[in-house]
Amino acid sequence: MTAGIPAAPDAFNGVLIVDKPAGFTSFDVVAVLRGLTRQKKIGHTGTLDPMATGVLPLLLGTAAKAESLLPDTDKAYEADFQLGVETDTQDSTGAVLRESGSPASRGQVESALERFQGELMQLPPMYSAVRQNGRRLYELAREGKVVERLPRPVVIREAKLLAYDAQSRRGRLFLVCSKGTYVRSVIADLGAELGTFGMMTGLRRTRACGFTLEDAQPLERLRAEGAGYAAGCLLPVDRLFSRLPAVAVTGPQARRFCNGGGLSLERTALAGSRQPGLRVRVYCSADSGAAGSGAVNSGPEPGNAFLGLGEVDAAGEQIGVCKLFRTAVPR
């Protein structure tokens, strides 16, 4: 047995935030962690291109069940760019198609960038994982094909110019945007807005799923320190749903919920909000003294055990089971 690796992957259930290095695909990072932890069930919450670095949340073990349930949260990026160059991939990894010597001042770039804030329709690039007629666009692009694509709605909450040199026409942007936004397409469109071209030369994701670089562990350190260190870096799965309301229930109610039974909305702190479809974090209260009363408390106090997600039914009366992450109620 390899030193530092536990005999079983039981300890590896949770969320691990990795600072992805350049040159790795998201699947490469997953493969490294599978080898390190011996946990086969590992998913991620959003692909980063090989040239990109930064926040990559991984879902290990039981946390992998959360992948299809994640709330849509904005992502933040710092992106380096070069004006005056167009490539087939919209970034510096691609073949140069056209170049332009058109100048652009810092003021012009800032003014153009203002027009990229808000709700926009964005055309996905050919070199992307978007499916069309059953095939990925990048597969078609590698065959030399360019097909008609439909623009998709995206939201850019914030777009700020962090640095810019007018002589070299190189700069850096900070973007806060919705899921599915292609930053390299923003840069290409920014170039077009300025009457020239634009390509992305670097990308660092600074926030995803509510996690930031402060939460992230460099992949190199995880590999160097080993499985024990990685286990200590795991975050609880309920951190993924921190924006959702929460209720803490007593032992009997928790057992009912874990067996597929519903919880009466009137007996929770959410009694006044009858919102069908509302998802809720459900915890088992650490206060065993209240277990006999069947009362329902208001939230996830320290020591409470996360059971899973509930969902308010169509009548607005019951919290039913949406997804269980724990089937055994702590005693």
Catalytic residues: 49
CA-to-CA distance for 46 and 88, rounded, in angstroms?
23
Q: From residue 257, give the alpha-carbon distance in Å to each of 7, 164, 251, 280, 321.
A: 32, 56, 10, 13, 7
CA-to-CA distance for 51 and 28, rounded, in angstroms?
13
Q: Give Rg (Cα) of the chain.
A: 24
**322 is written with which tokens?**
């949406």
Q: Are 188 and 197 in contact (CB under 8 A)?
A: yes
Q: From residue 9, give the alpha-carbon distance in Å to each of 26, 59, 129, 233.
A: 21, 13, 31, 15
Q: Are 33 and 11 in contact (CB under 8 A)?
A: no
Spell out the long-range contacts of 35-44 with Cβ–Cβ below 8 A and sequence spacing 24 or more.
36/5, 36/222, 36/223, 36/226, 36/227, 36/230, 37/5, 37/9, 37/12, 37/227, 37/230, 37/231, 38/5, 38/6, 38/8, 38/9, 38/12, 38/227, 39/9, 39/12, 40/9, 43/67
Instruction: Report which of 51, 184, 194, 46 is spatially closest to residue 114, judged by C-alpha positions.
Output: 194
Strands 75-83 and 170-177: antiparallel
Instruction: Report which of 132, 130, 116, 131 is spatially closest to residue 183, judged by C-alpha positions.
Output: 116
List of residues 6+ apart from 39 with CB closer than 8 A: 9, 12, 33, 60, 61
CA-to-CA distance for 312 and 320, rounded, in angstroms?
6
